[in-house]
Amino acid sequence: RRGWRRVVRVLEELEEGCATPVGRLRQVVDAMAVEMHAGLASEGGSKLKMLLTYVHNLPTGNEKGIYYALDLGGTNFRVLRIRLGGQRSAIIEHDVDRQPIPQHLMTSTSEELFDFIATSLKDFVEREENVSEPSQKERRELGFTFSFPVKQISSSSGTLIKWTKGFSVEDMVGKDVSQCLQQAMSRKGMDMRVTALINDTVGTLALGHYHDEDTVAAVIFGTGTNACYLERADAIIKSQGLLTTTGGMVVNMEWGNFWSSHLPRTSYDVDLDAESPNPNDQGFEKMISGMYLGDIVRRVILQMSQESDVFGPVSSKLHAPFILRTPLIAAMHEDDSPNLNEVARILKESLEIPEVPLNVRKLVVKVCDVVTCRAARLAAAGIVGILKKIGRDGSGGIASVKTKNGIHKKMRRTVVAVEGGLYTNYTMFREYLNEAMGQILGEDVAPYVIIKVTEDGSGIGAALLAASHSASE
């Protein structure tokens, strides 16, 4: 087949364009820390929004009782109930009900949408309390995870800035999200109070902190990506005089929108962005998250196919945006059969490219590798950027402690809670990310930084915050 050399050239250019040597990653680390500063200094001071959450107490593990949570963040919504026994106990009971949001409600009125949600919640509560003991509290308490951009007014209320992810309930924009839910619950005769309104990363941080109090940040790598962390209140210059009991506040970074000239960008990224519904937006997310990795790979294969015959005639499927989903590139990347049968199957079934010789299959694996490796390493740099901002990256030096047995280096343990299908299901992404963390931090510091996977922080974390906020009142 013609054009093999040209295809190899495309691969080499991709590798050069996506290169992330440690020196470059350190530049990204610094840029992240600088942008965080800027976003905290003034409203609109950075592409990082650095949204205040008004959450200053994270769950300690001493919470007790029965709490509910509602998680609305995409096409599904979930209601759940947990029972907590105090003393950092395992979560004793945990029941979940998941339902799709009917399509027509995603573009209806706020009243219709929230009536539907309140009804489902009411059914769930009644069902649960029939089979299990009821909440002892006079009023049931609910944490609400609402993963759309919200301007928080307090840790339990905030107004919707805009809809994303296919929702467009226009009368909701500018309204208080908790109040909408609260009113719908009253209309249904429910006695329940929204005691926390959060986004999903904050839930992950809460769950991480419940299990391990050294947890200072949370990151999600799923369809999209975002991060939040615990900041000193006096570092939040844009809202001076912010008094908090603990001196800290969780900041929702909205880091998917991070941008820096140090990010290695290729023509595929430029095209993907230009053809997206939100050009110039979410630049970091478009290089990192599960929604996009497959599509970057598709664009590279399309380029290779157009420049050569190695894939046969150009398949029309290669022109279809998002046809190659990220789980498929993971499956090709991790295909360990000698003949790369899985790669051949996916090329044939998903892209209608039949009978690809082994050397071309290997090429496709390499493309997946380059794209995912860049994503994972940039993600690691982002995490270290957060640690740098809060002085946990070891760059301030490691304290030396003198003991009888000599001088020991001592550093605080730092835990980052991580969640999301991209991290948990895509082994190579996870391994590249962890490897890069070690390279950036260096061997003295890396052992003190622990990445811990949490599960269902967006649900359980909201209930935990409902608990810790109710306790703190």
Minimum distance, C-beta of residue 385 to ligand ADP, in the bound complex (Å): 21
Residues present in the chain in total: 473
Place of tokens 């991580």: 418
Of 62, 223, 395, 434, the one binding ligand ADP by CB under 6 A: 223
CB of 249 or CB of 417, closer to ligand ADP: 417
- Choices 2-10, 113-121, 133-141, 422-430 (CB under 6 A): range interacting with ligand ADP: 422-430
Site string for ligand ADP, 302-331 (x = CB under 6 A): ------------------------xx--x-
| Residue among 68, 258, 426, 448 that touches ligand ADP (CB under 6 A) | 426
CA distances 106 to 77, 102, 147, 161, 336, Å, are 12, 7, 14, 16, 42
Tokens of 6: 């040209």
Q: Which residues, numbered 267-296, are part of the site for ligand ADP (CB under 6 A)?
A: 290
Q: What CA–CA distances, in Å, run from 142 to 117, 199, 264, 466, 469?
A: 13, 14, 43, 6, 10
3-state class of 444 per DSSP?
Answer: coil
For the segment 119-178, give every residue that binds ligand ADP (CB under 6 A). Answer: none
Q: Is 222 in the site for ligand ADP (CB under 6 A)?
A: yes
74 is an interface residue for ligand ADP by CB under 6 A: yes
Q: Is residue 225 near ligand ADP by the rule CB under 6 A?
A: no
* Residue with smaller CB distance to ligand ADP, 39 or 459: 459
Residue 157 vs 199, nearer CB to ligand ADP: 199
* Residue 423 C-beta: closest distance to ligand ADP, Å: 8
Residue 184 Cβ, how far from ligand ADP at the closest point, in Å? 24
Q: Which residues contact 395 (CB under 8 A, 6 or more apart)?
A: 388
Q: What is the DSSP string of 224-270?
A: SEEEEEEEEGGG-GGGTT---SSSEEEEE--GGG---TTS---HHHH
Single-letter code of the amino acid located at 463:
A
Quote the CA–CA distance of 35 and 258 in Å, as a whole number. Answer: 8
Question: Residue 147 or 157: which CB sits closer to ligand ADP?
Answer: 147
To ligand ADP, the closest distance from the beta carbon of 463 in angstroms equals: 18
Of 387 and 422, which CB lies nearer to ligand ADP in the complex structure?
422
How many chain residues interact with ligand ADP (CB under 6 A)? 12
Residue in 193, 199, 217, 173 with CA at minimum distance from that of residue 74 = 199
Q: Does 428 bind ligand ADP (CB under 6 A)?
A: no
The residue behind tokens 């939100």 is: 278
Residue 207 contacts ligand ADP per CB under 6 A: no
Q: Minimum distance from CB of 420 to ligand ADP (Å)? A: 4
Stretch that binds ligand ADP, among 97-105, 157-165, 363-371, 417-425 (CB under 6 A): 417-425
CB of 377 to ligand ADP, least distance (A): 16
359-363 CB contacts, 8 Å cutoff, 24+ apart: 359/4, 360/7, 360/310, 360/311, 363/7, 363/8, 363/11, 363/304, 363/310
Pick between residue 74 and residue 203 the one whose CB is nearest to ligand ADP.
74
Give the whole-angstrom CA distance, residue 344 versus residue 357: 9
The binding site for ligand ADP (CB under 6 A) comprises 74, 222-223, 290, 326-327, 330, 420-422, 425-426
